[in-house]
Amino acid sequence: MHLLNLSLAEFFTLFSAATAVVVALYLLDRSRRTVRVATLRFWNEAQRPVESAQRRRIRQWPSLLLQLLSIALLLLAVSQLRWGSRETGARDHVLLVDTSAWGGALVAAGAATESLLDQSKSMALAYTRALPAVDRVMVVYADGLATPVTAFESDHRKVEEAIRRATAGASALNLAQALEFARGTLARHARAAGEIVLAGGGRALTSETALPQEWPANLRLLTPKGSPENVGIRKLGLRPSPDDPGLWRILVSVRNFGLRPHAADLTLTFGGAPAAGRTLQLNPGQEVETAFEYRTRAAGLIEARLRTRGDRFSADDRAVLELPAQPELDVTVCTDEPDLLRPLLSSLPVLAVTTRSRAQCLAQPPQGVAVYDRFVPPGALQGPSLLLEPPIDRSPIPIAKSGVNERIERWEQSHPLAAGLRAQDFRLTQALVFRPAQGDTPIAFSASGPVLVAREAAGQPKLVVAGFHPLRSQLKFELATPLLFANILRWFAPEAFRRGEVFAGTVGAVTSPVHTGGELRVIDESGQALPYTLRDEQVRFYTARMGTVRVMQDGREQTYSLALPEIPDAVWTPPQRARRGVPSAAGGLAQARDLWVWLAVLGALGLLLDWLLFAPAGSGHSFGLRNWAPLQRLQRRAS
């Protein structure tokens, strides 16, 4: 036996104080008594205190003993006297409910089927009902992250409600993190550490940090029965061909998570129409990558669907990606020498080039991007324009000097037009040197001044003016010339040159290749930045929710549609010493029993009995027990 609310010293201190007060009240003898007189002349005598030489003593010691016993019982009830040792007292437990994606797999349950998570929740409810009412339980949903949904709760109805609310997530079980969270919580916040209970499991991440180095000694496993077969899509990737903008290369990765071989039918559809198909043979634990090609410039949805006989987990049998459109950039070249610029512009497959004479461009202003070869049309320019060697008297940017034969000595590296340009051997022949106005940005500099200027003003189309013609001199043999033209066109219409890669994969940790330098952004579908690490030209980020994440750097964009559940590769082996199954309510969880209710009832009955037996005369509550002969003889002997 032990006291829960008070120590033994505190109990005896309170009982001693109560005993002293009660005994003092019983020793108190009233000095005034009722005196019957025959005449009023004895009234004054009755007013005087009656002095008694008799030593005070307790006259009703049975009543005193009964009251002291009742007070002792009530104090024991307040102290919460319990039957059993302190080691079998109230304990706090952490219940880890496995809400990972694998919990959605189905297993046979008689004639019907149920998910692994349903089995886990049933065992978790049975475990909660087997606990004593005084035990507290914290419910934690465990998948990629350990998320507590209750505090240490003594109301088991709230615990059962939290267990019933559990649903399968999208990430895999990070078992090491969940167990470490439970161990730390018991160490810091529990009154008396109980068990760490894992309801679920079977599959967890198999990396070095995913399995615990040391298993808790108080671990109990509630493991569902059954080993579902599963063949699922691991990744779907779309990448445009660098040589043919209308050609998409599609890569699908499929894995057999089961214990026996399977034949899987993989089909691709675009916009609901069949696009490709293939049958894959997979051995247990094998992952196969297969490639397809599909030609389209239109935007639409491409879907990969997997059909496997005996598959018990359907969440990873379908992956859908939105295929972006591949538009062409309309470029109109206004020149009387069409063969001069055609080789350069035809090397860029994203361009739809139209060549017109000067007269045609004057009669019908060009749409889209315009390239004017050594002339400037009258009036305002209608769209983004590149002027090559404009006439001195018509140049929109004033000319400071003409006929310059010098080298380009410097590029304005902070501007997109000079991206990747480092060459300083551009030999200029009869070049123009400009005098930029406020708001103009010089891009290339010779010894005499700027020879390439960009202008970007609000409400006006972008403009680039070159004081030299790259294909009318030795510049046409320079490797930097195509790059310069590509930079100019990309600055005019960046969306036409953005060739994004699109991937559908599993939630969790994602690694994406990037290049060193340049601004890097990793954002989710709501535009919020995600934390990431960058190492060895690879960016790595983590998300436990399904959604879309974009990795953007220098006009290159990779879109990750994390719409597939994260399924671990292997089954982990629990330690042999771990307890298993739901214990019985009578055994396995032996607890101390509370006695305070019975003690409180006995204490109240003792006070009631004292009131009935020893109530003072005239109070109207003796019920005749006071005149009981044996009780009167006992009182006379005591007096």
Report phi then psi at 167, rounded to 5: -130, 155
pLDDT of residue 454: 95
Question: What is the Cα–Cα distance from 124 to 119, expressed in whole angstroms?
Answer: 9
Running along the chain, 639 residues long, what does each successive block of 10 average in pLDDT? Answer: 73 86 72 60 55 57 82 83 62 94 86 89 94 90 92 94 94 89 93 91 66 85 89 90 81 92 95 92 93 88 93 92 81 88 77 87 87 88 91 91 88 87 78 91 92 90 91 75 87 77 85 79 88 87 86 81 84 84 63 73 85 63 52 56
Per-residue tokens: 225 = 């029965």
pLDDT of residue 47: 55
Paired strand residues for 196: 94, 219
Burial category of 171 from C-beta neighbours within 10 Å (exposed 0-12, middle 13-18, buried 19 and up): buried
pTM above the 0.85 mark?
no
Architecture per CATH, domain 233-324, reads as Sandwich (2.60)
Question: What is the Cα–Cα distance from 480 to 540, expressed in whole angstroms?
Answer: 33
User: What is the C-alpha end-to-end distance of the chain, expressed in Å?
Assistant: 39
pLDDT of residue 363: 86
Rg (CA), the chain: 45
Per-residue tokens: 313 = 């987990």
Sequence ranges of the domains in the chain? 2-85+596-638, 90-228+570-591, 233-324, 329-496, 507-566
Per-residue tokens: 107 = 């297993």
Spatial CB neighbours of 377, under 8 Å, sequence gap ≥ 6: 334, 361, 362, 365
pLDDT of residue 441: 93
pLDDT of residue 622: 47
Edge-to-edge strand order for the sheet containing 262-270? 273-282, 262-270, 300-308, 318-323
Fold match, 233-324 / 329-496: no
Spatial CB neighbours of 118, under 8 Å, sequence gap ≥ 6: none
Q: Which CATH class is domain 329-496?
A: alpha beta
- Which of 585, 603, 605, 634 is CA-nearest to residue 132? 585
Helix, strand, or coil (residue 243): coil
pLDDT of residue 230: 92
pLDDT of residue 586: 43
- Which of 451, 407, 447 is CA-nearest to residue 427? 407
The CB-side HSE value for 508 (13 A sphere, CA atoms) comes to 23
Spatial CB neighbours of 23, under 8 Å, sequence gap ≥ 6: 58, 64
CB 395 within 8 A of CB 435: no
CB 173 within 8 A of CB 204: yes
Paired strand residues for 452: 444, 466
CB 470 within 8 A of CB 386: no
pLDDT of residue 213: 76
DSSP 8-state assignment for residue 86: G
What is 90-228+570-591's CATH topology?
Answer: Rossmann fold (3.40.50)
pLDDT of residue 35: 60
Question: What is the Cα–Cα distance from 122 to 65, expressed in whole angstroms?
Answer: 54
